[in-house]
Amino acid sequence: MKTDIKKAIENRRSFYAISNHTTIQDKELEEMIQFAIKHTPSPFNSQSARAVLLLGEHHLKLWGIVADALRKKMSEKAFESTEMKLNAFAAGYGTILFFEDQAIIEGLQNQFPSYSQTFPIWSQQSAGMHQYVLWMLIEDAGMGASLQHYNPIIDDEVRQTWNLPSTWKLVAQMPFGKPTAQPGDKNFNPIEERVLVFK
């Protein structure tokens, strides 16, 4: 990373105004995703996280799938503002899809039945860590990203379109690209109310 980890955490924001330009080579993007998936922790070292990088026509295809799915569920008037948002995501350079492999989670549930109820929860916690690590890496590379959740309405078509295993459960979509505008100021609630120390 070019900056220290505290700075990367501080700089990470949701960027909605992005272009279809990148600050790094595609190969670097691939290595960044592989790094995050490999080194981010998972419960029982289950390594259930999966990621798919969509670039070019594949990236555009995804947001077409999202638009078609939402158009069927919304009135024409309600869809107008949603379509503007989807077009902003499609204007980016690419999208990272995050999945959790349910076959691994179910295997752990069978192997450790006393933790059966908590493995899906731990899976989601691990998924969040993978998304956050990658978000910071993208920010540190000079790009902007946001985290979206159009699952489960697009799950089946996404799996079919890219021929993905049926056990991969989609948990998030991260459109990214070179920022064209900075996000607004971020407000913080008093930290003293959110962190307590006893010593």
Q: What are the residue boundaries of the structural domains of the chain, listed by start?
A: 5-193
Q: pTM (2 decimals)? A: 0.94
DSSP 8-state secondary structure symbol assigned to residue 14: B
Q: Contact at 8 Å (CB) between 65 and 89?
A: no
Domain covering 5-193, topology: NADH Oxidase (3.40.109)
Q: What does the pLDDT read at residue 192?
A: 95
**57-76 pLDDT tens trace:** 999 999 999 999 999 999 88
Using pLDDT thresholds of 50, 70 and 90, give the confidence band for residue 54. Answer: very high
Using pLDDT thresholds of 50, 70 and 90, give the confidence band for residue 1. Answer: low
Q: What are the C-alpha distances in Å from 84 to residues 64, 78, 81, 87? A: 12, 11, 5, 5
Q: What is the mean pLDDT of the chain?
A: 95
Cis peptide before 165 (omega within 30 of 0): no
